[in-house]
A and B are shown apart, each in its own frame.
Chain A
Amino acid sequence: MRHFVSTRIWHWINLIAIVVLFMSGLNISNAHPYLYWGDWGFSPTQAWLAVPRFPGWMTIPDYYSLAKARDWHLLMAFPFAFGLLGMWIAMLWNGHFRRDIKTARREWRWSAIRADIAKHLRFDFTHGEGKYNFLQKIAYGAVFGVLLPGMVLTGLAISPGMEPSLWWLVDIFGGRQSARSLHFLCAWGLFGFFVVHVLLVLLSGPVGQLRAMILGGDHQPTNPPFARPAKPEGESA
């Protein structure tokens, strides 16, 4: 399949934004590494989670500075949020969402899902007609529909300057400290996606995958040497 130029530009801008946001976010977390539910919370005894302290190599800047981490975080929030908005508009406009990400009812059958999981477990990444398989659709759907917009919305809800206009958003999340906790959980959800995403790219022909996401050429994922694709029906083992 071929990636749209909008997809390719957004992908790399978003990568830079998200890496800086995540690492500066870990620096910000170090300032008060406790998470709460509800409107308020200020001491470890009220926390539902005591977050470990993140070392310098995981943070931006690479030493503890709440002020400078916030500088980077609030700067990169702009390409991240407006990039996501632009990507959603492009996906709906050019049919990428309808064609590749939206699932059909028949895909939600348990037998189809089980077959797709089994295919992944055999490291078989070939899929016909250049379409995403069900697990890919679910993963990209969750990232575009929940985690990425979740980061933007919970981030806005933490900002005291936005609250006079966005108080209803803070209410939806269950209070400012709940929004802060969800911001943290969404970030680690995205980190989980990032790890799996990079692993699967490495396993399915990384050079071709990178070329397709940079230059936009036609590309089909390939299988790693240890893949065990299922034999066609009727063939004996």
Chain B
Amino acid sequence: MSFTMKRRSVLLGSGALMLGACTKISDSEAGTRFFETVDDWQMGLQRALRARNALAPEYAPEDISPTFRGNGSTDPQNDGYPEHVTNGFADWRFTVTGLVERPLSFTLDQIMTLPQRTQITRHDCVEGWSAIGQWTGPQLSVLLDAAELRDDARFVIFRCADNLNGGDYYESVDLIDAYHPQTIIAHSLNGQALPVRNGAPLRMRIERQLGYKHAKYLTGIEAVASLDDVGLGKGGYWEDRAGYQWYAGI
């Protein structure tokens, strides 16, 4: 009997040790690097299983959800943003900088005169919820081509006006998602100017990835060769602070 008891305690004990080890591995530097490698594999595998420009599903107007939830920053108060809201973003500028032959700067009116794409898509937050909305704006590829992206550019950084808990929000994608046809700089939601909680006046749509990649309150994009010197080096606000996966396709 005591032999059985001992065996049972060993079984239970080793089980508890294994579960405790999961937390320890997660918290270690080596564990963090390991999971970043896993993230790379998952991106490679997902991309191998679909066409490069395969589209996220688009919905019919009757599928649009009655409201569109805002998350993260929903009413930025920093760096003059409230003043921009007051004067209807008349002085807002959107810049294209970094590894481009011709840096560009746009007013909102100029953004509206570019060729537009409208898409009704589903937004999936990493937390688990989803909402459906209709977005309109120019494709990011149009701006990258106009600015003549240089050959050494590998990533596009999204610069944002909102400061969340003391850090400037930013995000990044590689050129595969940057040139995807559904990757647009949206200025409208459901036919109206973007509400403040959803990222007025401009936000990204990266339709094959989770919500935190869809940067809001966009002030510009910057083409770079590496993510190492941007922010804390992990490619995004949540990636830097909370260890979120840079590739957010899962």
Q: Which residues of A contact B (CB under 8 A)?
A: 16, 19-20, 23-24, 28-29, 31-32, 34, 36, 39-43, 60-63, 65-68, 70-72, 74-75, 158-165, 167, 170, 176-177, 180, 207
Contacts and interface: CB of A to CB of B under 8 A. Distances in A.
Interface string B1-28: 0001001000000010011101100110
Contact of B250 (A23, A36, A60, A159): A159
B125 interface: yes
Contact of B243 (A67, A75, A160): A67
A29 B15 CA distance: 23
Contact of A165 (B49, B129, B130): B49
Contacts of A72: 22, 26
Contacts of A74: 38, 42, 245, 250
A163 B18 contact: no
B49 A162 contact: yes
B35 interface: yes
Contact of A31 (B57, B128, B238): B128
A138 to B, nearest CB: 28
A72 B124 CA distance: 20
A67 B244 contact: yes
A29 B127 CA distance: 8
Contacts of B129: 32, 34, 36, 40-43, 177
A16 B56 contact: no
A160 B23 contact: no
Interface string B197-213: 00000000001111000
Interface in B123-151: 124-132
Nearest to B42: A74
A126 B210 CA distance: 52
Interface residues of B, number: 48
A194 to B, nearest CB: 13
Nearest to B247: A161
A75 B242 contact: no
B175 interface: no
B38 A75 contact: yes
Interface string B141-169: 00000000000000000000000000000
Given A60-B23, A61-B23, A207-B4, A160 B210 contact: yes
Contacts of A177: 129-130
Contacts of A165: 49-51, 54
B59 interface: yes
B43 to A, nearest CB: 8
Contacts of A62: 19-20, 23
A177 B26 CA distance: 28
29 contacts: A32-B127, A36-B130, A39-B122, A39-B132, A40-B122, A40-B131, A40-B132, A42-B65, A42-B69, A60-B19, A60-B22, A60-B23, A61-B22, A63-B23, A67-B238, A67-B242, A67-B244, A71-B38, A72-B22, A75-B38, A160-B207, A161-B209, A162-B250, A164-B50, A164-B55, A164-B56, A164-B208, A170-B57, A176-B122
Contacts of B101: none
Nearest to A71: B35
Kindly name the residue among A29, A39, A68, A170 whose own CB sees the greatest number of chain B CB atoms within 10 A.
A68
Given A34-B129, A75-B38, A16 B26 contact: no
Contacts of A60: 19, 22-23
Interface string B216-248: 000000000000000000000010001111011
